[in-house]
A and B are shown apart, each in its own frame.
Chain A
């Protein structure tokens, strides 16, 4: 007997990856809203602190992550139609760009450390390290996930891995303007 269809059957990919995506979006969404709420208490201090950030580097990292997401999407589509070898290369390239993102983030953190800027320097930097650090941890996990699903080459796993990577991408396109650009 066929199981009854539910509205969730229309969702692309597994329901559980969407549960994960929504959970992560809620966590980062709350963090960014809290950041802007605390900014209300000291707008000038937040603007002065923001001037210590390297906007060009973060902007370049946006291009890196967006391009990485594109490669992951291409890889997911390739594995669907049986082009496993092509999918593996695209997913590996997506993971490599994830490493580029982390390397640039590492340079950014090292620069802050050299300036003597830490978590307790100003509330701006508490949020900065918390939100971007948590995001970087997701990027690191995503790189491992992409490499793992590329190695196994199974369509459902690749789709789930790519969806996780797109979530990381989605979070960054919200983090970048709020933390680095808004004055």
Chain B
């Protein structure tokens, strides 16, 4: 079976991390408040969810087990939604 490329996963993780950092810089620069601040927070959590999925699927090889990939993916999505709800409630 062909394995997902670790190098492609690494590049994806670096790009997603750069996106999180750019958002954090915008937020801590004080230029955002109210709805845009909440949207930036939601985007940061979405990027974290994408990074976690990449690690599960490529590094931990869940791409090779579609049923488990879907199960872990759904659970992770529900957990990310919980974190997002708690964040937005604040």
B32 and chain A: residue at smallest CB distance: A183
Q: With the chains together, A67 CA to B52 CA distance in Å?
A: 15
| Closest CB in chain B relative to A74 CB, distance in Å | 6
A163 within 8 Å of B (CB atoms): yes
Which residues of the other chain, B, contact A46 by a CB distance below 8 angstroms? Answer: 90
Which residues of the other chain, B, contact A19 by a CB distance below 8 angstroms? Answer: none
Known: A10-B67, A163-B60, A166-B60. A29 touches B79 (CB 8 A): yes
Judge whether B83 and A59 touch: CB under 8 Å: no
Chief secondary structure at chain B's binding surface = helix
Chief secondary structure at chain A's binding surface = helix
Known: A10-B68, A177-B47. A66 touches B20 (CB 8 A): no
| Closest CB in chain A relative to B81 CB, distance in Å | 11
- Which of A31-39, A113-121, A127-135 forms part of the interface with chain B? A31-39
Judge whether B21 and A59 touch: CB under 8 Å: yes
Q: Which of A11, A178, A182 contacts B65 (CB 8 A)?
A: A11
B73 within 8 Å of A (CB atoms): no
| Closest CB in chain A relative to B51 CB, distance in Å | 4
Tell me how many residues of B have a C-beta within 8 Å of chain A: 41
Tell me how many residues of A have a C-beta within 8 Å of chain B: 42
Which residues of the other chain, B, contact A170 by a CB distance below 8 angstroms? Answer: 52, 55-56, 60
B89 and chain A: residue at smallest CB distance: A40
Enumerate A42-82 residues with CB–CB distance to B below 8 Å. Answer: 43, 46, 55, 59, 62-63, 66-67, 69-70, 72-74, 77
Known: A11-B68, A36-B90, A59-B17. A181 touches B24 (CB 8 A): yes
B14 within 8 Å of A (CB atoms): yes
B77 within 8 Å of A (CB atoms): no
Judge whether A77 and B6 touch: CB under 8 Å: yes
Which residues of the other chain, A, contact B83 by a CB distance below 8 angstroms? Answer: 32-33, 36, 178
Judge whether B24 and A66 touch: CB under 8 Å: no
Known: A55-B28, A59-B17, A62-B17. A10 touches B59 (CB 8 A): no
Query: Which residues of B are at the interface with A, using a C-beta cutoff of 8 A?
Result: 3, 6-7, 9-10, 13-14, 17, 20-21, 23-24, 27-28, 37, 40-41, 44-45, 47-48, 51-52, 55-56, 58-62, 64-65, 67-68, 79, 82-83, 86-87, 89-90
